[in-house]
């Protein structure tokens, strides 16, 4: 299986994913890294690792759908089977999601369904939650909503500041995101309604 990672920024999750591909934990080919930001550090990381990259500027397109349409053309050219959103700060259009149903994975830095949106870590911290964490989920047409694959959590202590919580979130992301991608690539994720079952071995009706 071939997959693409979409990233808008620093790309620490991309790095964890590239490492997991390299050491054989993810049994799939990372064939393309796409960004909507020309200067995304994620693009440099990919280029440094010899992975093909693509940047398209949203400004060159009249509407979100025409932008997504062009991205999909590139994905089809590369024969991409599934997509991983690793800090991609743009909402995919329904058109895009229909092209890859149950084949897009996202990382969100809170325990969904709490604290959806762009500032999940900050919103949870400011709210005063005592426990927070990370969610890896399939993408559907509602933002931060699709079936949950993996979650992990930790307690926020009185000593924590926003920065330390961000660090802890990243640490968890770098552990469970590659794990979820590995499970998907092995055909070990089965969706039934909102529930995602992790199988011991690939099922005939798995998503692979
Ligand atoms: C991650 O915290 C992710 O949860 C959020 O954006 C951040 C991306 O970080 N959606 P990086 O670019 O992978 O370092």
Instruction: Decide: 100 in ligand 1 pocket, CB within 6 A.
Output: no
Q: What is the pLDDT of the chain when averaged over all its residues? A: 97
Q: Which atom of ligand 1 is nearest to the CA of 8?
A: 12
The answer to whether the CB of 178 is under 6 A from ligand 1 is no
pTM (2 d.p.):
0.96
Atom in ligand 1 nearest the alpha carbon of residue 12: 14
Using alpha carbons, list the distances in angstroms from residue 22 to 28, 92, 117, 173, 197. Answer: 10, 28, 31, 18, 26
pLDDT in tens, the chain (208 residues): 999 999 999 999 999 999 999 999 999 999 999 999 999 999 999 999 999 999 999 999 999 999 999 999 999 999 999 999 999 999 999 999 999 999 999 999 999 999 999 999 999 999 999 999 999 999 999 999 999 999 999 999 999 999 999 999 999 999 999 999 999 999 999 999 999 999 998 876 655 5
Say how far apart CA 197 and CA 148 lie, in whole Å.
10
Report the C-alpha gap between 147 and 207 in whole angstroms. 13
Cα 197 to ligand 1 centroid, rounded to whole Å:
25
| Cβ pair 87, 11 in contact under 8 A | yes
Q: What is the per-residue pLDDT across 113-172, written as a single tens digit (0 to 9) for each?
A: 999 999 999 999 999 999 999 999 999 999 999 999 999 999 999 999 999 999 999 999
CA angle 133, 173, 12 (to 5 degrees): 135
Nearest ligand 1 atom to alpha carbon 86: 13
Judge whether 108 counts as a catalytic residue: yes
Residue 172 beta carbon below 6 angstroms from any ligand 1 atom: no
Query: Does the beta carbon of 17 lie inside 6 Å of ligand 1?
Result: no
Looking at residue 202, what is its pLDDT?
Answer: 85
61's CB contacts (< 8 A; 6+ apart) are 67, 70
Give 144 Cα–ligand 1 centroid separation in angstroms: 14
Q: Using CA of residue 24, residue 27, residue 31, residue 34, what is the dihedral sign?
A: negative
Partnered with residue 30 across adjacent β-strands are 3
Pure H helices in the chain? 12-22, 41-48, 64-77, 94-99, 120-127, 162-185
């Amino acid at each position: 299986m071939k997959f693409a990672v979409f990233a808008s920024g620093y790309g620490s999750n991309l790095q964890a994913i590239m490492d997991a591909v390299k050491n054989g934990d993810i049994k799939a080919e990372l064939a393309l890294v796409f960004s909507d930001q020309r200067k995304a550090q994620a693009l440099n990381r990919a280029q440094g690792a010899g992975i093909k990259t693509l940047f398209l500027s949203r400004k060159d397109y009249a509407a979100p759908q025409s932008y997504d349409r062009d991205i999909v053309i590139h994905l089809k050219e590369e024969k991409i089977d599934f997509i991983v959103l690793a800090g991609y700060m743009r909402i995919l259009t329904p058109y895009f999601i229909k092209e890859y149903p149950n084949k897009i994975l996202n990382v969100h830095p809170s325990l969904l369904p709490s604290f959806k949106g762009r500032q999940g870590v900050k919103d949870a911290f400011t709210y005063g939650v005592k426990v927070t964490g990370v969610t890896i989920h399939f993408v559907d047409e509602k933002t931060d909503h699709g079936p949950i694959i993996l979650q992990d959590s930790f307690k926020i202590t009185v000593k924590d500041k926003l920065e330390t919580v961000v660090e802890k979130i990243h640490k968890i992301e770098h552990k469970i995101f590659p794990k979820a991608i590995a499970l998907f690539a092995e055909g070990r994720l089965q969706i039934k309604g909102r529930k995602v079952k992790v199988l011991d071995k690939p099922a005939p009706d798995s998503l692979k």
